[in-house]
């Protein structure tokens, strides 16, 4: 009987050790899981702060029809370098919302502000012939902070 009592005692101590280790492992697992969740949430928060995510729709044919060409002059190049503004020629019947959506879809950048102006035709003369230059609509697009675009490379 002495052997049976000692065997019972050994088995009961082994079971107690197993249950303690199970409790420890489950506690460790829950700690690890909470740490993972905490790191994921902090990673998401830091990712949002570091890089602004630009959600842009797909570029359609009307997007490419809206923006005609970039206007390159001394003033527009200076604005591009210092103020992060880009000057483009757009269709005459397009509005600010259409221009913004088209520009964001084509180039994948975030637009902060758009200023639009109609450029009137000017009188020109070549020799004895008189004529006019064509009128067009011009948009000055201000990009959001942290965004950049180099039109000369694209």
Q: What is the pLDDT of residue 36?
A: 62
Residues 65 and 132 in one domain: yes
Rounded CA separation 142/84 (Å): 6
Query: Which residue shows structure tokens 């490419």?
Result: 64
For 55-98, the DSSP string reads ------HHHHHHEEEE---HHHHHHHHHT-EEEEEE-TT--HHH
Is the Cβ–Cβ distance between 74 and 59 less than 8 Å?
no
Q: What is the pLDDT of residue 61?
A: 79
Rounded CA separation 114/90 (Å): 12
Q: List the chain pLDDT tens, one digit each, 154 residues.
A: 455 555 555 655 666 566 555 555 555 666 656 666 666 555 555 544 444 444 567 778 778 889 999 999 999 999 999 999 999 999 999 999 999 999 999 999 999 999 999 999 999 999 999 999 999 999 999 999 998 887 776 5
Query: What residue spans of the chain are helical by DSSP H?
Result: 2-50, 61-66, 74-82, 96-107
Domain ends where: 30, 51, 72? 51
Q: What is the pLDDT of residue 63?
A: 84
Q: What is the pLDDT of residue 123?
A: 96
- For residue 12, being part of any structural domain is answered with yes
Give the dihedral of Cα atoms 71, 116, 140, 151; nearest 10 deg.
-50
Q: Which residues contact 132 (CB under 8 A, 6 or more apart)?
A: 121, 122, 123, 124
Residues 37 and 99 in one domain: no
Q: What is the pLDDT of residue 60?
A: 80
Rounded CA separation 108/153 (Å): 15
Q: What is the pLDDT of residue 121?
A: 96
Full residue range of the structural domain in which residue 45 is found: 1-51
CATH of the domain at 126: 3.30.70.330
Is the Cβ–Cβ distance between 95 and 139 less than 8 Å?
no
Q: What is the pLDDT of residue 78?
A: 94
- For residue 94, being part of any structural domain is answered with yes
Q: What is the pLDDT of residue 53?
A: 45
């Amino acid at each position: 009987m002495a052997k049976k009592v000692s065997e019972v005692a050994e088995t009961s101590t082994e079971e107690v050790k197993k249950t303690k280790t199970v409790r420890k492992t489950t506690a460790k697992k829950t700690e690890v899981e909470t740490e993972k969740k905490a790191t994921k949430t902090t990673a998401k928060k830091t990712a949002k702060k570091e890089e602004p995510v630009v959600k842009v729709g797909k570029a359609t044919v009307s997007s490419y029809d809206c923006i005609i060409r970039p206007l390159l002059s001394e003033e527009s190049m200076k604005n591009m370098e210092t103020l992060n503004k880009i000057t483009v020629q757009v269709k005459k019947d397009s509005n600010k919302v259409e221009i913004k959506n088209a520009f964001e879809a084509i180039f994948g950048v975030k637009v902060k502000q758009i200023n639009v102006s109609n450029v009137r035709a000017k009188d020109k003369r070549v020799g004895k012939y008189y004529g006019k230059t064509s009128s067009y609509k011009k948009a000055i697009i201000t990009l959001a902070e942290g965004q950049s675009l180099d039109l000369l490379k694209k």
